[in-house]
Amino acid sequence: MSEPLLAVRELAVHYPRRGPFGRRLPPVRAVDGVSFDIAPGEALGLVGESGSGKSTLGRTILRLQPATSGEVRLEGRDLLAVSRAELRTLRRRMQMIFQDPGGALDPRMTAGEAVAEGMIVHRHVPAAGIPGRVAALLAEVGLDAAAAGRHPHEFSGGQRQRIGIARALAVDPAFLVCDEPVSALDVSVRAQVIGMLGELRQRRGLALLFIAHDLAVVRQVAARIAVMYAGRVVELGPSMDVLSTPRHPYTQALRSAVPVADPASRPGRIVLTGEPPSLSPPPPGCPFHPRCFHPARDARCVTERPQLRPVGPVLAACHHAS
Amino acid sequence: MSLLEARGLAVEFPRRRGAAIRPVDGVSLSLGEGEALALVGESGCGKSLTALALLGLAPAPGTIAAGAVLLGGTDLLALPERGRRAFRGGRIGYVPQEAGGALDPVLALGTQLAEALAVHRALRGSGARARAAALLAEVGLPEPEAMLRRYPHELSGGMRQRALIALALAGEPEVLIADEPTTALDVTVQAQILELLGALRRSRGMGLLLVTHDLGLVAGYADRVAVMYAGRIVEEARVEGLFARPAHPYTRALLAAVPHIEGTLAPPRPIPGSVPDPAAWPDGCRFHPRCPDVLARCRAEPPVLAPLGRGPDGDPLLHRAACWVAERKR
């Protein structure tokens, strides 16, 4: 395998907590020992419930918030160790797209100013070249040049998301973190944005970390999927395999909860009981054990933390997966 | 015989200049006892306004300009506001989206339930308390007695949605209207909530109107589907029939836009263009500017919702569509 574009190793993000009178409480382990690679031009899907740590992971990779320990290497350089100056130049290589495209845009800036901002900050393009670049970027995301003069409130949700994407592309990044980019969009607009991200990935050789809770959407965008639960990756592998034969019981439950747009197929649903666990501290052993329904679950699941290990074509962190 | 029937509902909003607009424009629906009907469409097609109109409500400055809502032979819209209140939250329950801050953040769940039970069931004191706990148990909340003292912020999104369902059940409704009840929830929690709504419908024999933009939910949890576009119902069918033989080009386009979790990896196909503005509904069929199969007639003449032929017994089919192209194949 060629050199990965992004290598994440044992990344942990713990939030310290204090109780009344300053008493120390166990930290919240939002991300707890996560490792994976993304190759140049590859899209990795990241799925999991709210609170599983997937957004925290995405933001920490871009160093938008501090990590507790671990490594994040982008093109060989450890983002968590580089100086501020070096981080500034590296920021151009990695960008983010947000769920709420309205909230991510400054309401007082025109679409053109929003797209140009990154180029100006990073001195990416000579000033004279900026208007032409802005027009080209807007065209690339399917907006006409007149859009440059309009403000965010004059656009629909789908169009605002296109502006967010053009803004991210303005500095020619190699890697994009997309945090639930289509969750707030209507089904038809969602299809447009998914199609566009796929084209951009191919045309620009962009690598994506695509965070979403909708497995059917992730499958369209990413050839590999990582499943997160309680701050850990519990399954990682080719999308086809993870979705057709999920190995981790949590992935099985997640998969079976997806509504299928076909009344003829009403598969036996695994309806999970209970709630996602507290992360302060997470349950000992396997974090999923309090909700697990695997017939072979045993005392080991409660005491020993399962590591990701090869199970058929995927990696799964379950003592009993086969 | 249907339990709830809406005939020719229209919701109108005045405009500062020009004629009033009608985001809901002649909607008829019927819902049987114990039946689940899904009302589906993109944002801006009028489905949430239709749901509110069924409760005799329209957000100001809007008004219900025409139509009837019949429940057990009484037209809710013909009643004065006082009379409507016995229906709203009573015989017709409403479950809003959890994300909208639908629970009062400063009142414990028990207080909120007590209020609903006092208004709709004239229950007070220990009787109300016992009933409130029973409702919380019925929607699957753990330790219902202790739950009465909890505040909304102490609960997860899924638990809050369950509490909203318990509130809607307080009036012992015959019909439950749920407007996007799972949109803000995780997929595993969504499945729990939909299973709960299905179980309640069966155990109580309630009619359920599920307003959603998600055709995936429709397939798994509804008996019948009404597809709405630009203020009108454009297709109505049993769920199996709709998915097997979608007749309206809009329905087909919606289905093609849904990404699938199974089978071949065909990319979802977006619908070209966007939902028109109610101030400028297109003439003829309102879908014609986006329709791949458009005929000359479609631009001029609005199609009517009509059965797609007759069944083997000679009765008109329950599968109906408002489309001139489908009409030609009839």
Is B183 touching A (CB cutoff 8 A)?
no
Q: What pLDDT, in 10s, does the model give residues A252-267? A: 999 988 888 777 766 5
Task: Provide the pLDDT for residue B216.
Answer: 82
Cα B20 to Cα B181: distance, rounded to the nearest angstrom: 30
CB-CB neighbors (< 8 A) of A215 in chain B = 187, 261
Selecting from A187, A255, A256 the residue whose C-beta is nearest the C-beta of B254 gives A187
Cα B46 to Cα B60: distance, rounded to the nearest angstrom: 15
Is B210 touching A (CB cutoff 8 A)?
no
Mean pLDDT for the stretch of residues B108-120: 94
**DSSP labels, B141-167:** -SSHHHHTT--GGGS-HHHHHHHHHHH
Is B65 touching A (CB cutoff 8 A)?
no
ipTM rounded to 2 decimals: 0.80
Residue B106 has pLDDT above 60, yes or no: yes
Task: Provide the pLDDT for residue B317.
Answer: 76
A113 vs B309, residue with greater confidence: A113
Cβ A66 vs Cβ A58: under 8 Å: no
**DSSP labels, B37-99:** EEEE--TTSSHHHHHHHTTT---TT-EEEEEEEEETTEEGGGS-HHHHHHHBTTTEEEE--GG
**Segment B286-295 long-range contacts (CB within 8 Å, at least 24 positions apart):** B286/B229, B286/B230, B286/B231, B286/B232, B287/B229, B287/B230, B287/B234, B287/B248, B287/B249, B287/B250, B290/B250, B290/B253, B291/B249, B291/B250, B292/B249, B292/B253, B293/B249, B293/B325, B294/B325, B295/B324, B295/B325, B295/B328
Of A49, A188, A193, A214, which to mutate for an interface test with B (greatest number of B Cβ within 10 Å)?
A188
B139 vs B157, residue with greater confidence: B139
Task: Provide the pLDDT for residue B330.
Answer: 61
Residue A269 has pLDDT above 80, yes or no: no
CB-CB neighbors (< 8 A) of B254 in chain A = 187-188
Amino acid at B83: G
Inter-chain CB proximity A188 and B158 less than 8 Å: no
Task: Provide the pLDDT for residue B260.
Answer: 84
Task: Provide the pLDDT for residue A1.
Answer: 53
By CA distance, what is A265's nearest residue in B?
Answer: B220
Residue B44 has pLDDT above 90, yes or no: no
Task: Provide the pLDDT for residue B86.
Answer: 85
Residue A102 has pLDDT above 80, yes or no: no
Task: Provide the pLDDT for residue B265.
Answer: 76
CB-CB neighbors (< 8 A) of B261 in chain A = 215-216, 219, 243, 255, 258, 260
Q: What's this model's pTM, rounded to 2 decimal places?
A: 0.87
Selecting from B188, B265, B270 the residue whose C-beta is nearest the C-beta of A191 gives B270
Selecting from B43, B192, B253 the residue whose C-beta is nearest the C-beta of A186 gives B43
The end-to-end CA distance of chain B, in Å, is 27
Inter-chain CB proximity A259 and B239 less than 8 Å: no
Min Cα separation B263/chain A (Å): 10
Is B219 touching A (CB cutoff 8 A)?
yes
Is B187 touching A (CB cutoff 8 A)?
yes
Cβ A232 vs Cβ A317: under 8 Å: yes
How would residue B99 be classed by pLDDT, with cut points 50, 70 and 90? low
Task: Provide the pLDDT for residue A268.
Answer: 66
Q: What pLDDT, in 10s, does the model give residues B116-130? A: 999 999 999 999 999
Cα A182 to Cα A99: distance, rounded to the nearest angstrom: 7
Mean pLDDT for the stretch of residues A122-137: 91
Task: Provide the pLDDT for residue A270.
Answer: 77
Mean pLDDT for the stretch of residues B157-176: 94
Task: Provide the pLDDT for residue A36.
Answer: 97
CB-CB neighbors (< 8 A) of A187 in chain B = 42, 213-215, 254, 257-258, 268
**CB-side exposure of B330: number of CA atoms within 13 Å?**
20
CB-CB neighbors (< 8 A) of A242 in chain B = none
Task: Provide the pLDDT for residue A64.
Answer: 92
Q: How many residues are recorded in chain A? A: 322
Inter-chain CB proximity B269 and A217 less than 8 Å: no
DSSP 3-state of B232: strand
Task: Provide the pLDDT for residue A24.
Answer: 85
Integer Rg of chain A from CA: 21
How would residue A189 be classed by pLDDT, with cut points 50, 70 and 90? confident
Mean pLDDT for the stretch of residues B33-43: 93
Min Cα separation A80/chain B (Å): 31
Residue B98 has pLDDT above 80, yes or no: no
The tokens for A60 are: 């920490």
By CA distance, what is A275's nearest residue in B?
Answer: B156
- Which residues of A have a CB under 8 Å from any CB of B? 49-50, 156, 186-192, 194-195, 198, 213-217, 219-220, 243, 253-266, 269, 271-272, 275
Cα A230 to Cα A243: distance, rounded to the nearest angstrom: 20
Mean pLDDT for the stretch of residues B75-99: 89
Is B75 touching A (CB cutoff 8 A)?
no
Give the range among A133-147, B89-103, B212-226, B249-263 with minimum mean pLDDT. B89-103
Mean pLDDT for the stretch of residues B87-93: 92
Mean pLDDT for the stretch of residues A79-107: 88
Please provide the average confidence, as pLDDT, over all residues in chain B. 91
The tokens for A126 are: 């000579």
Of B42, B180, B187, B228, which to mutate for an interface test with A (greatest number of A Cβ within 10 Å)?
B187
